[in-house]
Amino acid sequence: MIVWTVANQKGGVGKTTTTVTLGGLLAERSERVLLVDTDPHASLTYYFGIDSEQLEMSVFDLFIKGKNVKKEEIIQMLCPSTIEGLDILPATMALATLDRTLGSKTGMGLILKNALEVLSDEYDYAIIDCPPVLGVLMVNALAASSRILVPVQTEFLALKGLERMLRTMELMQSSQSKAYRYTIVPTMYDKRTKASLEAYHRLREMYGDRVWTSVIPVDTKFRDASLAQQPPSTYAPKSRGVFAYSTLLTYLQQKR
C-alpha cells in the first residue's frame, strides 16, 4: 500500500479537496483506496455524506486501542463510500481532545502508521487528510506516509506559511530519522491575476523541482461538488479542475 499525506498548517488551501479528488480518481483507475480523515472538523467525512456525529467509531478509536489493534477492529471503523473501491476511515470531534489527553504519551506518533500497516493488503493506496494544526495527528500522518503533498494557495501570504510548515517538517524529520519526500501542489491558481502568476514563479524559484510542474486552477465546481457531497471526479468529471488533478495523479504515480 502506498500512503500519501496531504498537509499544510494553513487552513483552506485545498487539502481536503486534494484528498477527495485524488481518491476518486484513483478509484476510477481501479485502485483500492482508503481515505483517512484526521481532522476533528471531519470535512472529508461529511464530503461523503457520512454524519460524523452519528458515528460509533472513527480514527479516534485507533488511539484508544493503541498499538495492538487487530485488523477486524480497524475494519469495523471503516465506512464505505458510494464509489466502488473507495472507503473512508472517518473522523469525529473527539479527535480534538487527543493532543491534550495522549499527545505527550510515548509511542503515540506511530499509531496511524501501525494501523495502515495492518491494513496494507486491503488497499493499494491510502491518502491521509490533515487538519490545519501541527499536533499529534499531523505527526502520525507524516510518519505513516511515503510522500507528503503540500497544497499551497498561489498567493503571496500563503508562501510565508509554507516556509514555516517545511521547517516544522524538517524538525520532525530529524526526530524520526526519516527523510520526507514532498511535492508542493500550487492550488487555486487564477491565471487572470498577477498575484497567482508571481506566487507560482516564486515557488519554483524557492523550491525548484519539489514543486509540481503544473497547477490546480480555481474552479467553482469544487465547491459545488462538496455541496452535492460527491467527489469532484464523479460530480464534474470533465471540469478543468478535475483534469488538473488527474494530471497531478499521473505525475505522482510516476514518481512513487
Residues contributing to the site for ligand ATP (CB under 6 A): 11-17, 39, 43, 132, 187-188, 216, 218-219, 222-223, 226, 241
Chain CA centroid to CA 198, Å: 26
Q: Which segments of the chain are extended strands (E)?
A: 2-6, 33-37, 79-80, 86-89, 125-129, 147-153, 182-187
The cell numbers describing 6, all together, are 496531504
Chain CA centroid to CA 196, Å: 23
Nearer to Mg ion, 10 or 15 (CB): 15
Torsion (CA) 227, 89, 150, 191 in degrees, nearest 10? -20
Residue 119's SS3 state is coil
90 binds, among Mg ion, ligand ATP, none (CB under 5 to 8 A by kind): none
Closest residue to Mg ion in the complex (CB): 16
109 binds, among Mg ion, ligand ATP, none (CB under 5 to 8 A by kind): none
Report 141-170 residues binding Mg ion (CB under 5 A): none
Query: Does 15 help bind Mg ion (rule: CB under 5 A)?
Result: yes
Per-residue x/- mask for Mg ion, residues 27 to 66, rule CB under 5 A?
A: ----------------x-----------------------
Which residue in the set 5, 8, 9, 16 belongs to the binding site for Mg ion (CB under 5 A)? 16
